[in-house]
Amino acid sequence: MEGSERVRLDLAYDGTGFAGWAVQPGLRTAQGELETALAVATGRAEGAPPRLVVAGRTDAGVHATGQVAHVDLTADQLAALTRRHGGTGEVEAIARRLTGLLGERGDLVVHRASRAPEGFDARFSAIFRRYRYRIADRLAARDPLDRHRTVTHPRRLDDAAMASAVAGLPGLHDFAAFCKPRPGATTIRTLQALTWQRDETGVLIAEVRADAFCHNMVRSLVGASIAVGLGRIAPERVGELLSSPVRANEFAVAPAHGLTLVEVGYPADADLAAQAEQARATRTLA
């Protein structure tokens, strides 16, 4: 936006009380809460109402500890946001101001605000998103304090079979079998890593990293893994599904609350604009 300054926001939220990230009429969403706080903080400052661009839109119930967004602010809006610091434009103060306005509920926190480097786009400049999925099966110690971020499974899952099933998935593929279709949207993605292992308490944890994800992709990959862990489908079947042009119906999509966006990665500042331009291009398997 001409005549404005771009600010990067690093934030976290417990997705339990949100109908996802994106604004939806009549529903509480992370974007809606944060944009409302921005509107209150900027008040009557000159400029259009601040609108956020996010690295990854999360579904209802999905959490984030490493979400990234950006907002373009006019000089007047920036001064209003930092007024308690004399309107000096100390961008770091924005995080404290917004978190204070978000209220006592405490399920959405802005950890850091900073001036975005030239070429930065929270969505298109990202080179990876990393998610974590947690399952407590019969072998795991179940912690009630983790109930909002860990799925409880009543049966023991074969973690070795699950790890074997996903070992061959990383790479550039069409993940149509694992994505909820959207008109005009591609399902071609580069899956950079997908692993399963148990932590010290026995909880099964999937670490999933890709350049980007199509809708329901992570939860579908987890759902397929669970089906393998239960012996309902063979481990090799998961890889075979990459050749399917339509969404698979051999497994259920895993519940949302076990999923957390833990990190968004960006290239060096000098490469931000080029990465954003490349990410906007239509993906192909070539």
Calculate mean pLDDT across residues 29-38. 97
DSSP string, 15-65: GGG-S-SS--TTS--HHHHHHHHHHHHHTT-SSSPP-EEES-PPPTT-EEE
Beta strands in the chain (DSSP E): 4-13, 52-54, 63-74, 108-115, 128-136, 151-152, 171-174, 188-198, 204-210, 259-265
DSSP per-residue codes, 136-158: E-TTSPP-GGGTTTSEE-SS---
Q: Pick the catalytic residue from 10, 59, 121, 137.
A: 59
Burial of residue 144 (number of CB atoms within 10 Å: 0-12, 13-18, 19+): exposed
Q: What is the pLDDT of residues 198-220, one digit of tens each?
A: 999 999 999 999 999 999 999 99
How far does CA 61 lie from the centroid of its chain? 12
The residue-averaged pLDDT of 94-105 equals: 90
- In the chain the domains, ranked by start, together with CATH numbers, are 4-115 (3.30.70.580), 128-268 (3.30.70.660)
The residue among 93, 95, 104 whose CA lies nearest residue 10 is 95
Considering only CA atoms, which of 258, 156, 251 is closest in space to residue 205?
258
> Rounded to an integer, what distance in angstroms lies between the CA atom of residue 129 and that of residue 55?
8
Residue recorded with tokens 């298109």: 124
Instruction: Determine whether 146 is an active site residue.
Output: no
Give the other-Cβ count within 10 Å of 236's Cβ: 11
Give this prediction's pTM: 0.94
- Write out pLDDT tens, residues 42-96: 988 888 999 999 999 999 999 999 999 999 999 999 989 887 655 455 898 999 9
The pLDDT of residue 187 is: 94
